[in-house]
Chain A
């Protein structure tokens, strides 16, 4: 009898649902370079060439954006790294050694490039040690890409992924493979992993300390995403218990599904426009199943992960156009690439503080070609007049004006090219930085709509890094300052005839929904999988009670009081 059997590990319940399956340990750091011998030299060389090509694409993607900002030194390092991937002498040596030694390419790459690294480290000059780190970088990139292929073949549809942490690019890998659940060592409710798991309806328990060291490959796991429990090698009794629970959940889902064609209106007739967020193009089917009033947010940065290189105007046009056609006659709001922070690219730029750095509209306005290609693609997809466009991370009027000028420029170009588009396409901005929140009335006069991004707004308002576990407890969704700021944004926006919506994770929190409606919010965009649940809650609320609830919460000075009040309210509507 194994001592791990029936052990329950505790973590953060990050995406609801229950699943039973086999563990697949996905741990990049722990995987060592294999010295395994190979039979098929031709295949090994093909794998090496593919990994080199992929590495080149990645480098271009990262540095293509930043090249003007990097300064000469970093730019020349980038150029040298690109040249290394084409170095005739190095590639010749690698291929010869694979043929002669018949070892895996990852071993040969590691061994051969390390020789150069040792030479550099032997030099006395400090800059040579720095240089060796750059070579180490490119070596690791090639090896990572060699292994990616191996991983891909190992991940199959029925596994539960157990991993230290999930990066945006890993999610693409897992999503394509249709995995059953996620368990991670690190990460919280608003981490990228949690957002993606929730939107795809995949149960996830995150922040389980040492999950990857306790759980072994192939263990049977029960993941309870409601309570944050992970059970290792459960006995028959437990399996039966959870299988029954899964059946009950399916019945409950079916019950919610019956609300599909009913409006999201309160008991006393206040209609709320309930929309869905779209993270991955894959979710579109889930969106239709749950029949929301349109798509309130398309997070386009995910396209960067789905495509290996920058998606060009044509590729983007196809994606946006197909979404717009599918959702017609409802609307879809496309948000411009929000690259930066914890999202997608500039991890490779080594910004000391990426959340306060080069992200969102800042990066876009510095990369006009990229931004214009996106604007043109969105405009072209707007011919049926059901697309809106939105800019992320706005802090100033200048950014709004510049973006509007770019949109006008694109319209002129398209007119010349005789391409059709919606000349009145609505343009809006995200309110996710306190500065923007304070300037809501000024911004509202410049745009057609505003959308509140609660995840970033809360972290910037409270000065808490949501990914930092030491302070993550201070990340309070219901902090009185957050509630009062939301009230202010909604009031100021509406006073200036500007549509106000909310598209952060908060909108999908059942506890928050009555409060948000009471604060005057009429448009809500949430994860597609949670649309039926949120609709069922809205249909149980009395609007006039929600107004009273909001008034009360605005008087409190601690999060605890607010949560108490919300719990009371929630329990009272559930009982009825």
Chain B
């Protein structure tokens, strides 16, 4: 299992468009992907779940990846968070 901490760095925060992109990216991999915030564990392959996460600029989240392709999955998703959802 891989665990990574990430920070939301774009101005608009985790709004609907990046939420949809995250779920689409996660859906490409076999590994399980969870987002942890404020005691909630949200399945990152569920759009309705990811939409319940309120994460403004500056919020910190923990991502976990578990499965045969966890390396690739963590790399691509982490990269997307670090690019500020391509909104920088």
Contact = CB atoms under 8 A, between A and B. Distances in A.
Interface of A: 72-73, 76-77, 79-80, 83-84, 87-90, 113, 116, 119-120, 123-125, 127-128, 131, 135
B51 A80 contact: yes
A80 B49 CA distance: 11
Given A120-B54, A127-B15, A131-B16, 18 more contacts: A72-B17, A73-B16, A76-B16, A76-B17, A79-B17, A80-B16, A83-B20, A87-B48, A89-B45, A89-B46, A89-B49, A90-B46, A90-B48, A116-B51, A116-B52, A120-B51, A120-B52, A128-B54
Contacts of B52: 116, 119-120
B43 interface: yes
A84 B54 contact: no
Contact of B16 (A77, A88, A89, A113): A77
A313 B47 CA distance: 35
Question: Among the interface residues A73, A87, A120, A135, which one has the most CB atoms of the partner chain B within 10 A?
Answer: A87
Nearest to A81: B47
28 contacts: A73-B16, A76-B20, A79-B20, A80-B19, A80-B20, A80-B51, A83-B24, A83-B47, A84-B47, A87-B46, A87-B47, A88-B45, A89-B43, A89-B45, A89-B48, A89-B49, A90-B46, A116-B48, A119-B52, A120-B51, A120-B54, A124-B54, A125-B54, A125-B56, A127-B15, A128-B54, A131-B16, A135-B48
A135 B51 CA distance: 9
A125 B54 CA distance: 7
Interface in B33-82: 40, 43, 45-49, 51-52, 54, 56
Contacts of B49: 87, 89-90, 116
Given A83-B20, A125-B54, A113 B48 contact: yes
Given A88-B45, A135-B51, A83 B23 contact: yes
Contacts, number: 55
Contacts of B45: 88-89
Contacts of A120: 51-52, 54
Contacts of B20: 76, 79-80, 83
Contacts of A84: 47-48
A379 B54 CA distance: 53
Interface of B: 15-17, 19-20, 23-24, 40, 43, 45-49, 51-52, 54, 56
A127 B11 CA distance: 14
Nearest to B18: A76
Contacts of A113: 48
Interface centre among B45, B46, B56 (most CB of A within 10 A): B46
- Interface core residue of B24, B48, B52, B54 (most chain A CB under 10 Å): B48
A125 B45 CA distance: 23
Among A72, A80, A90, A127, residue most surrounded by chain B Cβ atoms (within 10 Å): A80
Contact of A123 (B17, B23, B47, B54): B54
B34 to A, nearest CB: 11
B25 to A, nearest CB: 13
A77 B54 CA distance: 16
Contacts of B56: 125
A72 B15 CA distance: 12
A88 B43 CA distance: 10
Nearest to A115: B52
Contacts of A89: 43, 45-46, 48-49
A46 B67 CA distance: 32
A127 B20 CA distance: 16
B44 to A, nearest CB: 10
A120 B51 CA distance: 8
